[in-house]
């Protein structure tokens, strides 16, 4: 027991002796290293990108002078393009004067040991000088600044095929943010950096939407839904089918990937459909009561497609992906979709014969001689097929130099209409050549009233 205690005390005394001998040695070493760092920069120290670790002020000055002549900034660009900016191209130099010495004197040589654990970099303002004009000229010569070499970035887009829409991959291009890149090149030069990776630094202007963007995928789904629509227009003698092969021409995608409709193209399509439906103002073959067939054109009667309304109807159907049969959206309708859209109820006026017939549901209701617009005073009744606008009792017809009360009035072409005229005692024949109306159809009272009692608005009136 006593022997063990004695050994421990002996070992302890030996450790103390070693420590007493070692400590002065360590102090001497520490002071020696401190003296070294009194005229050398700390370990791991850098000044504006120049390695000053364990170097004297003179050595750092010399290295800065060398770098001012040999400095090169490498630019790593997209698609493997590499470019350089050299010191001599931009008039680069280091204006250090006494700044490096002052920086050295600011370091406490006795705290050198901490530099081994936390190396530092100093960025000194104003020591790096360059010619701003030369740098701008150099920048303008870079490939990223050459308009002929710049490829604009493009978002992912869409292409229609027989199997529907496919996504066209985006174009990354090589366009950069000029202002941002220039500012960062200046920063790199001032800091003494030797490489700028444009891709890593995100200096490129990239597409907003790529082929993997969910919004792109959603737009493709919607486009394909729209082009599955099938709208069939049926008309006398055939049909017109609108499907994806045509619909895709109407569709577009804006910068926010919203689906748009080209209404001009849709209007052009509706115009084509009009040819199968519109009869408004068109020339017609009309079978007369005299067993002849005449061609009648002009007037305001007939089928008239509401183009803007039909375009809106189409947009709704396409958005719904519908498969439907339909007729166009009409502004005005006629009696029938047959080749003879006049139907079997109409008023027929033969201007040469000065005779009127009124048919209702195919049966002759009444007929009789009339007087139409005067030829001698250029008031001839216009030819054409018109729709009766309305009918009115006890009207007063007014015009330049006259005011004429009538029992019944049935206008079909502006102020021109069918009415009675009790003051006129002769109808038919050649009266209209020298003593005609102001354009209206003057009728004996019984004829006018019979028509009035049996006719409705929109009934066709044929003048030929």
R_g of the chain, CA atoms, integer Å:
49
The CATH number of whichever domain residue 368 belongs to comes to 2.40.440.10
Nearest partner of 51 among 122, 124, 130, 126, judged by Cα:
122
Q: Which residues contact 343 (CB under 8 A, 6 or more apart)?
A: 334, 335, 336, 460
The CATH number of whichever domain residue 248 belongs to comes to 3.10.20.800
Separation between Cα atoms, residue 179 and residue 184, nearest integer Å: 9
Nearest partner of 142 among 185, 171, 173, 172, judged by Cα:
185
Each of the 464 residues of the chain gets a pLDDT tens digit; together they read: 555 555 555 666 666 665 576 777 877 776 776 777 677 877 878 777 778 778 787 777 777 777 778 889 999 999 899 999 999 999 988 877 677 776 667 777 677 677 777 777 766 666 788 999 999 999 999 999 999 999 999 999 999 998 999 999 999 999 999 999 999 999 999 888 899 999 999 999 999 999 999 999 999 999 999 999 999 998 777 889 999 999 999 999 999 999 999 999 999 999 988 888 889 989 999 999 999 999 999 999 999 999 999 999 999 999 999 999 998 989 999 998 887 899 999 999 999 999 999 999 999 999 999 999 999 999 999 999 999 999 999 999 998 888 999 999 999 999 999 999 999 999 999 999 999 999 999 999 999 999 999 999 999 999 99
Q: What angle do the packed helices 263-277 and 307-319 form, to 10 degrees?
A: 110
Whether 355 sits among the annotated catalytic residues: the reply is no
Domain membership of residue 187 (yes or no) is no
DSSP string, 227-260: TT-EEEEEETTEEEEE-HHHHHHHEEE-TT--EE
Number of domains the chain is built from? 2
Longest Cα pair distance anywhere in the chain, in angstroms? 166
Q: Are 404 and 380 in contact (CB under 8 A)?
A: no
Q: Are residues 316 and 386 in the same domain?
A: no
Q: Are residues 401 and 312 in the same domain?
A: no
Separation between Cα atoms, residue 341 and residue 361, nearest integer Å: 14
Q: Are residues 367 and 316 in the same domain?
A: no
Whether 440 sits among the annotated catalytic residues: the reply is yes
Q: Are residues 373 and 455 in the same domain?
A: yes
Q: Are residues 323 and 408 in the same domain?
A: no
Domain membership of residue 441 (yes or no) is yes
Domain membership of residue 270 (yes or no) is yes
Rounded to two decimals, the pTM is 0.68
Domain membership of residue 365 (yes or no) is yes
DSSP string, 4-16: HHHHHHHHHHHHH
Q: Are residues 411 and 445 in the same domain?
A: yes
What's the domain range around 241?
Answer: 215-285+298-332
- Taking only the tens place, the pLDDT of each residue in 366-405 is 999 999 999 999 999 999 999 999 999 999 999 888 899 9
Pairing of strands 164-168, 157-161: antiparallel
Alpha-carbon torsion 146, 148, 149, 152, what sign? positive
| Choice among 40, 419, 438, 463 that is catalytic | 419
Domain membership of residue 175 (yes or no) is no
Domain membership of residue 167 (yes or no) is no
Q: Are residues 319 and 357 in the same domain?
A: no
Q: Are residues 323 and 378 in the same domain?
A: no
Domain membership of residue 78 (yes or no) is no
- Taking only the tens place, the pLDDT of each residue in 335-372 is 988 878 999 999 999 999 999 999 999 999 999 999 99
Instruction: Could you list the beta-strand ranges (E) of 278-345.
Output: 284-287, 293-296, 304-305, 323-326, 330-332
Q: Are residues 220 and 256 in the same domain?
A: yes
Q: Are residues 309 and 418 in the same domain?
A: no
Domain membership of residue 263 (yes or no) is yes
| Choice among 40, 138, 248, 440 that is catalytic | 440
Beta-bridge partners for 195: 74
Nearest partner of 359 among 419, 296, 287, judged by Cα:
287
**Main-chain dihedrals φ then ψ at residue 408, nearest 5 degrees:** -135, 145
């Amino acid at each position: 027991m006593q022997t063990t205690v004695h050994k421990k005390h002996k070992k302890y005394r030996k450790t103390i002796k070693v420590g007493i001998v070692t400590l002065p040695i360590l102090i001497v070493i520490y002071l020696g290293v401190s003296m070294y760092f009194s005229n050398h920069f700390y370990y791991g120290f850098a000044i504006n990108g120049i390695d000053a670790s364990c170097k004297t002020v003179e050595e750092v000055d010399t290295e800065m002078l060398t770098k001012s002549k040999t400095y090169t900034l490498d630019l790593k660009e997209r698609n493997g393009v590499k470019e350089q900016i050299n010191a001599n191209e931009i008039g680069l130099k280091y204006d250090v004067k006494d700044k490096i010495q002052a920086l050295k004197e600011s370091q406490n040589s006795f705290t050198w040991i901490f530099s081994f654990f936390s190396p530092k970099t100093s960025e000194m303002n104003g020591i790096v000088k360059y010619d701003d004009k030369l740098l701008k000229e150099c920048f303008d010569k870079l490939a990223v600044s050459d308009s002929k070499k710049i490829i604009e970035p493009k978002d992912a887009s869409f292409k229609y095929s027989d199997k529907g829409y496919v996504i066209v991959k985006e174009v990354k291009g090589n366009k950069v943010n000029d202002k941002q890149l220039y500012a960062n090149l200046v920063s790199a030069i001032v800091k003494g950096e030797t490489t700028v990776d444009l891709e890593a630094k995100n200096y490129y202007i990239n597409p907003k939407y790529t082929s993997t963007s969910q919004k792109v995928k959603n737009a493709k789904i919607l486009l394909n839904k729209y082009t599955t629509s099938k709208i069939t227009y049926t008309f006398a003698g055939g049909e017109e089918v609108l499907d994806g092969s045509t619909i895709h021409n109407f569709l577009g995608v804006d910068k926010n990937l919203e689906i748009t409709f080209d209404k001009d193209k849709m209007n052009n399509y509706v115009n084509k459909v009009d040819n199968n439906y519109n009869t408004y103002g068109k020339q017609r073959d009309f079978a007369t009561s005299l067993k002849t067939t005449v061609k009648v054109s002009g007037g305001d009667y007939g089928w008239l497609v509401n183009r803007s309304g039909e375009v809106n109807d189409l947009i709704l159907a396409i958005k719904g992906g519908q498969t439907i049969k339909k007729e166009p959206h009409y502004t005005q309708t006629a009696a029938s979709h047959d080749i003879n859209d006049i139907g079997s109820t109409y008023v027929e006026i033969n201007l040469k014969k000065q005779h009127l017939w009124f048919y209702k549901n195919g049966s002759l209701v009444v007929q009789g001689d009339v007087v139409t617009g005067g030829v001698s005073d250029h008031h001839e009744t216009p030819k054409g097929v018109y729709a009766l606008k309305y009918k009115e009792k006890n009207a007063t017809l007014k015009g330049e130099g006259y005011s004429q009360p009538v029992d019944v009035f049935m206008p079909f072409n502006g102020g021109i209409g069918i009415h009675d005229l009790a003051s006129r005692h002769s109808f038919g024949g050649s009266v209209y050549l020298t003593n005609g109306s102001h354009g209206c159809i003057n009728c004996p009272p019984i004829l006018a009233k019979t028509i009035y009692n049996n006719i409705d608005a929109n009934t066709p009136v044929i003048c030929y």
